[in-house]
Chains A and B, each alone.
Chain A
Amino acid sequence: MEHQLLCYEVETIRRAYKDPNLLNDRVLQTMLRTEENCLPSLSYFKCVQKEILPSMRKIVATWMLEVCEEQKCEEEVFPLAMNYLDRYLSIELTKKTHLQLLGATCMFLASKMKETIPLTAEKLCIYTDNSIKPEELLQMELLVLNKLKWDLASVTPHDFIEHFLSKLPVPKDSKQIIRKHAQTFVALCATDVKFISNPPSMIAAGSMAAAVHGLHLGNSNSFLSYQPLTDFLSQIIKCDPDCLRACQEQIESLLETSLRQVQHNSIPSETKTVEDELDLSCTPTDVRDVNL
């Protein structure tokens, strides 16, 4: 038997420690000020696009979420890619057959923005079943960059979630699960047309409220019960509590519809309440399943 060298080194991604300085109020205020700059136009389906319909956005978004999940991308990559996609579609007439190329390009860019080891062009092309070529992706990348004026550092709902969590008087393990659920909701919102025009802070607060509500955390912690939490979050993001409430309800009903679709597609006999389902669906992977 030959001697062999065993390598125990695992290729892990080194991460910086969380910097408390990035969670202070000054940063939060700046984020609230700048988030409006990166919002896509509300009505691009009507005003800009001729072929592309809301249902197609849903199709491409679902596919993008699946790819991000399968490639275990950072959570932020998917919402960020959707932000690029919407912003591009807000200004540039695009053909239906080029929509998947655009989606792949947006993931390519978002992944480079957020990940240490980004998705490769080739991998993304494989995910389109090789319907596009890497060269086309790279050319599209340049085009998207140009159209977005190289402004890729959009604020995402995830940025806000961290701020909210840092202000919540709850134990660490609760924060963990709230974060996970809220991120799932954020991804869900990114797939749905209704939320295009909502600023990231609103999505984040609505998702957070929906997560806490779904987890029944309000029963044990009075601070997390419905009214105080909504007031607290709306104060942070400086919006009307009623607006936030409406957003939260919209998110919850989106979840309900998605779950119903899934149940319809798989096991129609099971009748679970939304809350029960939510308890089970604590990872983003479940959101993907929900959307299938």
Chain B
Amino acid sequence: MSNVRISNGSPTLERMAAQQPGHPKPSACRSLFGPVDHDELSRDLQKKRNESHEQDRLRWNFDFERDKPLDGNYKWEAVDFKDVPDFYWRQTRERVSPADCGVDVNGNRAIVYIGTTVAQGNAAGDTYFANSERSDAVKETAERCTDSKEQCSAPRKRTASVDCSPEAKRVTTKAESEWSANSPSLSAFEQTPKKSIPSGHHT
């Protein structure tokens, strides 16, 4: 650990890319198990993605694709997005336009970008990008679902802020600590939904 080398001693991408045609490649550049059938791969990935969508849908009884609550253990109730901290709906710092989709130096941005497109409804609302993008849809949901009596779950698909499941809670805690670490002065603001939602909606 102490004598570790730094990882930026590596050849740059340009240099490696330049080596591609003709020039001898680094020995480690090789395809191990023959050519990859990209259509098949993309079908497989899609299939597995659908499977995990389905699992998430069943687990949370929420249709993440269409942003609609379903029947099940969780009672979903929408709230106005203005009633929750702007953490959940403000434009996020990592917003990347589709034009930007080339992988950047760190490869990080591209992750975020894919996360938005691929993960829509995929990972149980693990991306909050979806939220910011769909505040309209959420409002719409809000109007339709206000009849559910028992208030239980989080404002939206984010299933956060209420103790329905330990995992949801953990997600919140993480998100909040991250948030308050970024701007401690606003940490009071971030507390609001927890207090206000139960008092406002418990009948």
Contact = CB atoms under 8 A, between A and B. Distances in A.
Interface of A: 11-13, 18, 56, 59-60, 63, 66-67, 70-75, 92, 95-101, 108, 111-112, 115-123, 126-136, 138-143, 145-146, 150, 158, 162, 176, 179-180
B37 A97 contact: yes
Interface residues of B, number: 50
A84 B44 CA distance: 20
Given A120-B13, A138-B114, A131 B106 contact: no
Nearest to B37: A97
A66 B35 contact: no
A119 B107 CA distance: 8
Contact of B33 (A99, A119, A130, A162): A99
A49 to B, nearest CB: 13
Contacts of B4: 74-75
Contacts of A128: 29-32
A207 to B, nearest CB: 14
Nearest to B123: A146
Interface string B16-36: 110010000111111111111
A116 B42 CA distance: 31
17 contacts: A11-B8, A74-B7, A75-B4, A97-B36, A97-B37, A99-B33, A101-B41, A117-B8, A118-B107, A120-B13, A121-B103, A122-B103, A128-B31, A142-B122, A158-B1, A179-B2, A180-B3
Given A139-B45, A143-B48, 19 more contacts: A66-B28, A70-B26, A72-B5, A95-B44, A97-B34, A101-B41, A117-B6, A118-B7, A120-B106, A121-B111, A122-B103, A126-B13, A127-B26, A128-B31, A131-B31, A139-B118, A146-B52, A158-B1, A179-B2
B37 A13 contact: no
A133 B35 CA distance: 12
B13 A123 contact: yes
B9 A72 contact: yes
A13 B6 contact: yes
A136 B6 contact: no
B105 interface: yes
Name the prevailing secondary structure of the A interface residues. helix
Given A118-B106, A139-B114, A13 B31 contact: no
A17 to B, nearest CB: 10
A136 B42 contact: yes
A121 B107 contact: yes
Contacts of A180: 3
Interface in B139-178: none
A126 B17 contact: yes
A95 B48 CA distance: 13
B49 interface: yes
A242 to B, nearest CB: 30
A11 B17 CA distance: 22
A196 to B, nearest CB: 19
A143 B45 contact: yes
- For the complex of A and B, the 7 pairs showing the least CB-CB separation, nearest first, are A120-B107, A131-B31, A66-B28, A138-B114, A129-B31, A121-B107, A13-B6
B10 interface: yes
Contacts of B115: 142
A131 B44 contact: no
Contacts of A126: 13, 16-17, 20, 29
A136 B114 CA distance: 10
Given A74-B4, A143-B52, A60 B110 contact: no
A23 B194 CA distance: 38
A11 B12 CA distance: 14
Contacts of B27: 66
Interface in B34-85: 34-38, 41-42, 44-45, 48-49, 52
